[in-house]
Amino acid sequence: MSLALFYFFLKGLLIGLTIAAPVGPVGVLCIHRTLKYGKLVGVISGLGAASADLFYGAVAAFGLVAITNLITDSSNIIKLVGGILFIAIGIHMLRQQPTFVSDTDSVQIEQNKPSLLTAWISTFVLTAMNPGTIIAFTVIFATFGINGDAGAPGAAALVLGVFLGSAIWWCGLSFFASAMRAYVKQHSRVINKVSGTIIIVFGTASLVSLLFEL
């Protein structure tokens, strides 16, 4: 790898970490899944979010104007669908059995555990539909002076860095939540309620912001 490509890769790595680091609704969901269903489900959920970051990173890095315009023109639809999805997931979390995975997993938890594919797809869609993700990419890419003129090799190195930076953060978050599982197990009911409420608030905020733009 040439020095220029390595530079783009490091820049992408920093962007990926910067975008993934704020703990928004998807972060809360990944932590909750790790506590409730185990580390693997949490990690795969995080990789779904990182894949959405990869998608937006590719759109910006390769200067895909048509897709950028489509995303911009569909911003209200994205806010509407994203807000509804977050509220629905938050309500589901509030109604779930407040029990986290342990060495003696209950049959009910195992039956309700999402498949790895479902875990990945759900967080990919939620991250892609999160208006905060789109805003973050727009602001951060503008701050770093990235406007689609890096060339194909540079853009590829940048996008790879974005994905790895985001994936490192999400995997680290899941490993941390897994390590804390034994300490928070007795507070599972409170964590369920708080997690669901936070996600509902994010979804409601998305819908409210949409009303102000109509």
What integer pLDDT is reported at residue 104 of this predicted model? 47
pLDDT digits (tens, 9 = 90+) for 152-172: 788 888 889 999 999 999 999
Measured between alpha carbons, how far is residue 103 from residues 28, 78, 100, 112, 196 in Å? 23, 40, 10, 17, 25
Neighbours of 39 (CB within 10 A): 18
Domain of residue 184: give its range: 3-213
Total domain count, the chain: 1
pLDDT digits (tens, 9 = 90+) for 47-71: 999 999 898 888 877 766 566 667 7
